[in-house]
Amino acid sequence: MVDEKVTAVGPVRVHTISTDKYKTNTIVWKMKAPLAKETVTLRALLPYVLQSGTADYPSVKALRTYLDELYGATLNVDLTKKGEHHIMTIRIDVANERFLPEQTPLLSKALQLLADLLFRPALDGGRFVTDIVEQEKRALRQRIQAVYDDKMRYANMRLVEEMCKGEPYALSPNGELEDVDGITAEGLYRYYERALAEDELDLYVIGDVAEEAVLTAVKQRFSLPDRPKRERASSVSVKPQGEVREVIERQDVKQGKLNIGYRTNVTYEDDDYYALQLFNGIFGGFSHSKLFINVREKASLAYYAASRLESHKGLLMVMSGIEPANYEKARRIIDEQMQAMKNGDFTDEEMAQTKAVIRNQLLETLDTPRGLVEVLYHNVVSTRKRPIDEWIAGTDQVTREDVVRVADKVELDTVYFLTGMEATEDGKTGV
Amino acid sequence: MEKRVYETLHEELFYEKMDNGLDVYILPKKGFNKTYATFTTNYGSVDNQFVPLGKTEMKRVPDGIAHFLEHKLFEKEDGDVFQQFSKQGASANAFTTFTRTAYLFSSTDNVEKNLETLIDFVQSPYFSDKTVEKEKGIIGQEIRMYDDNPDWRVYFGAIESMYHNHPVKIDIAGTVESIAQITKELLYECYETFYHPSNMLLFVVGPVDEQKIMQQIRDNQAKKSFPQAPEVKRFAYEEPSAVAEKKKVIPMHVQTNKCFVGIKAPSVPEAGEQKLRHELAFHVALDYLFGKSSPHYERLYREGLIDDTFMYDYTEERGFGFALVGGDTRDAERLASEIQTVLLSFAAETIKKEEFERVKKKKIGAFLRALNSPEYIANQFTRYAFYGSNLFDILPALSSLTMDDIAAVASSCFRDSQIAVCEVVPKGQ
């Protein structure tokens, strides 16, 4: 279904997916390391500094001018966490020259550019350029702060912080505000050398290209030392002992955000992974799911009410936006849906429907270069390898008993509610 | 069925006008798993005053009704159409813009069944008092969600500042008060006026057999009957060419200032290639001035006035056009004044040929990239078709764009009278 060829070139796993379905060719570079307080902010900054200049194009303006010349090649970077891994991503996308009047070899130029970004950054006396680092520190601070102004993201972040207190997973992939100031051009350069020497490295090339050509280009341009094999830290966690935590936070908002976190005790590594996907699909993943039907369509309480999984960490998160006064009502309805799942109170039709939708969602994701890479990258993050064909068959084979067994493992952990300053239904007034 | 070949792009498009006036386009895409189909009416939030089908007088309807109708069309006497789609393995959705309402699905299986469901549900409205009332709670929460979103507030605030009368200044979802006035009778009236097949376009893109799909649509439409419908008469709002309000400040509970500069086009071409060129020229002008390779971007970024939220975009629809430039900033006042200075000092004699050609190259690459997306193709093709332009003409139009084209945009739009500013600032500042 997906023709992925993987070959190691030194420490770089090169993944080639040859296809002629796109009008552009895509390069994705991923660097993975454990998520940790000491490095999270350095990593959050590093790819932004790298995309600000190379030895040949030492400023954003010079670099972006070059990208425009390559028929508007796009270059962007981001940070994510998958389980307790912190992943830096650099993406370059270039037009396929067969659609252009000019036959410039754009893909090979793009690979060269990626190599330059990684191995020949703009430097000043053996360290990063101070001006660039300072500019990007400022942008990073703004990026961290921006979350506070987007209440949906803010509520998601706060739930994870509360729920995973003391676990690395509580860290945000964009780093910690208090650690930004202390970063220097020297310190960041030292970390850059360390990351290139120690991180797990993956390069994906998707497009109208043969694997041989990619490997030849990579061998010429990417030369990196081998690295010791790292112990894999397990991301899985169990619910700490004790009561369900309830956190209520007040701000000047009109809509309350009710976010609820559960521990699934099932992850990508487990046999029950496909059953977990199905559980989430019936419970809250789609517009036919119990949450959407009961919170939104029947009770008219919310515009959005949904759940999503973090399948490497084993978390299930419910999110909804409600009138502050409807807190108790919404919680009750959400609890009832969870109980229904545990009781096996769902129809065969819901099972079939959810299987069809999951299958469709997967196939659609594979249609975009970006989605395709994200699906394939699960197999890098996890020790458990799941080829794409297995996803489809695995989902099809899930039985109602499997879903109930998974539901039974799901434990409520933390309830987080961001609400307005006004009095709520029980008459309490916020501060 | 007519076949149109776009050789440079390696694309073939099939077209047919149904007997009832419905325009149908099919773009086969081999290699893709997904088929994506949109069924769109040339009707959006700005169409709030019109002569209803079979009547003679203009009628003003409540704000937000096009969007409300979009929500309600999914509900039928025997349940929710979302359920139907998901049983068939599809994901369905809809959206309302200023001038269009689109219903869509994507699926990798059961394409014909899903297409039938799409066409049939859009062509069989069912509104009841009870379901209309229930929807008010849901859309009320959708409105609240946007009320709390500072990015939306600053974006829409800038549009509000630019317009005196034109309903583009009214939020697409309306307000909690305006949607309270919506009734099932009003919904039927809007539906009958704007959902006539002759006011609609169906686009299918994906790994499909064009002959089979076209035949299916022909058969489906032949089974239904529609009254004769004249072209819809919409109220023509008198809109002064200059902006309504130079500056608007919205205090909110935020940590970061946000600022957008709005540029109002005093007039826009009505249709055809001229409209397409005007829009492209505006986009190229903005890219020339504010793109990441521009000197202005570099300077503003270095001074910390912009960050990676900085964006610029131009929207041109039926009867109006406006651009927005801005984002998060540490100093909204200064950013606003810097952007205005850049705009006002842009003139024909300052345009550099080499930079202009580079921006065109960048746009060509971006257009090819956009064609990777079936969603982009269906949505944008429909948008252009409603104005009598053609999405696939973008490539030749871009190639032939001249510096005079962007100089013309600058001289009519980059003027003090056309510029408005909206800022979101932390409360209490």
> How far is CA B247 from its chain centroid?
25
**Residue A131 pLDDT:** 95
What confidence tens digit (pLDDT) does each residue in A90-149 have? 999 999 998 988 888 999 999 999 999 999 999 999 999 999 999 999 999 999 999 999
CB contact under 8 A, A64 and B142: no
**Among residues 243-262 of chain B, which lie with CB inside 8 Å of chain A?**
252-256
Flag whether pLDDT at A424 surpasses 90: no
Pairing of strands B320-329, B311-317: antiparallel
Residues ≥6 apart with Cβ < 8 Å to A136: A45, A48, A49, A52
**Option in A96, A135, A360 nearest B89 (CB):** A360
**Residue A233 pLDDT:** 59
**Residue A431 pLDDT:** 36
Flag whether pLDDT at A430 surpasses 60: no
B332: closest CA of chain A, how far (Å): 14
Side-chain-facing half-sphere of B230: CA atoms under 13 Å: 9
Q: Which single residue is written with the structure tokens 């200044």?
A: B169
Distance in angstroms (rounded) separating the CA atoms of residues B183 and B295: 54
**Residue A232 pLDDT:** 63
Domain coordinates of chain B in residue numbers? 2-222, 247-426
Distance in angstroms (rounded) separating the CA atoms of residues A363 and A368: 10
Residue type at B20?
Answer: N
Is residue B70 flagged as an active site residue? yes
CATH assignment of A245-419, given 3.40.50.970, 3.30.830.10, 3.40.50.2000, 3.40.228.10? Answer: 3.30.830.10
Residue type at B366?
Answer: A
Give A366's contacts in chain B (Cβ within 8 Å): 33
Distance in angstroms (rounded) separating the CA atoms of residues B99 and B386: 10
In sequence order, the β-bridge partners of residue B320 are B317
Taking CA atoms, A34 is separated from A86, A314, B56, in Å, by 6, 17, 70
B257: closest CA of chain A, how far (Å): 10
**Helix runs in A179-293, H state only:** 185-198, 211-221, 273-280, 290-291
In sequence order, the β-bridge partners of residue A321 are A257
Reported ipTM: the value is 0.88
Taking every pair of Cα atoms in chain B, the longest distance, rounded to a whole number of angstroms, is 65
Confirm if B175 and B54 have CB atoms less than 8 A apart. Answer: no
pLDDT interval class at A429 (50, 70, 90): very low
Mean pLDDT score, A358-373: 94
Confirm if B326 and B258 have CB atoms less than 8 A apart. Answer: yes
CB contact under 8 A, B255 and A254: no
Top residue of A18, A51, A61 to mutate, by most chain B CBs within 10 Å, is A61
Distance in angstroms (rounded) separating the CA atoms of residues B4 and B15: 8
Percentage above 70 pLDDT, chain A: 95
Catalytic residue among B16, B70, B192, B349: B70
In B97-143 the beta strands, taken as DSSP E runs, fall at 101-107
Residues ≥6 apart with Cβ < 8 Å to A61: B292, B293, B294, B295, B297, B298
Q: Mean pLDDT across chain A, nearest whole number?
A: 93
Phi, then psi, of A7 in degrees rounded to 5: -135, 135
What confidence tens digit (pLDDT) does each residue in A224-260 have? 888 877 666 566 666 666 789 999 999 989 899 999 9
Greater confidence (A101 vs A222) lies with: A222
Mean pLDDT score, A61-67: 96
Query: Touching check for B368 and chain A: CB below 8 Å?
Result: yes
CB contact under 8 A, A23 and B9: yes
- Provide block-wise average pLDDT over 10 residues at a time, chain B (429 residues): 94 97 96 96 97 95 97 92 93 96 96 98 96 92 91 96 97 95 97 97 98 98 92 94 97 93 96 94 97 94 93 96 96 96 90 94 95 96 96 94 94 96 89
Query: Touching check for A421 and chain B: CB below 8 Å?
Result: no
Flag whether pLDDT at A1 surpasses 80: no
**Option in A24, A293, A301 nearest B368 (CB):** A24
Give A354's contacts in chain B (Cβ within 8 Å): 86
The residue of chain A with its CA nearest to that of B92 is: A287
Q: Structure tokens of A172?
A: 């945000």
Q: Domain spanning B2-222 has what CATH number?
A: 3.30.830.10
Q: How many CB atoms lie within 10 A of CB A184?
A: 15
CB contact under 8 A, A356 and B31: no
Mean pLDDT score, A405-422: 94
**Residue B416 pLDDT:** 96
Q: Which single residue is written with the structure tokens 């194009």?
A: A57
CB contact under 8 A, B361 and A352: no
CB contact under 8 A, B368 and A297: no
Distance in angstroms (rounded) separating the CA atoms of residues A375 and A372: 5
Q: Structure tokens of A316?
A: 């299930």
**Residue A141 pLDDT:** 95
Give B83's contacts in chain A (Cβ within 8 Å): 288, 353
CB contact under 8 A, B361 and A71: yes
What is the fold, at CATH topology level, of the domain defined by B247-426? Cytochrome Bc1 Complex; Chain A, domain 1 (3.30.830)
Query: Touching check for A94 and chain B: CB below 8 Å?
Result: yes
**Among residues 57-86 of chain A, which lie with CB inside 8 Å of chain B?**
59-61, 64-65, 67-74
Give A288's contacts in chain B (Cβ within 8 Å): 82-83, 86-87
Domain coordinates of chain A in residue numbers? 4-221, 245-419
Q: Domain A4-221: which CATH class?
A: alpha beta
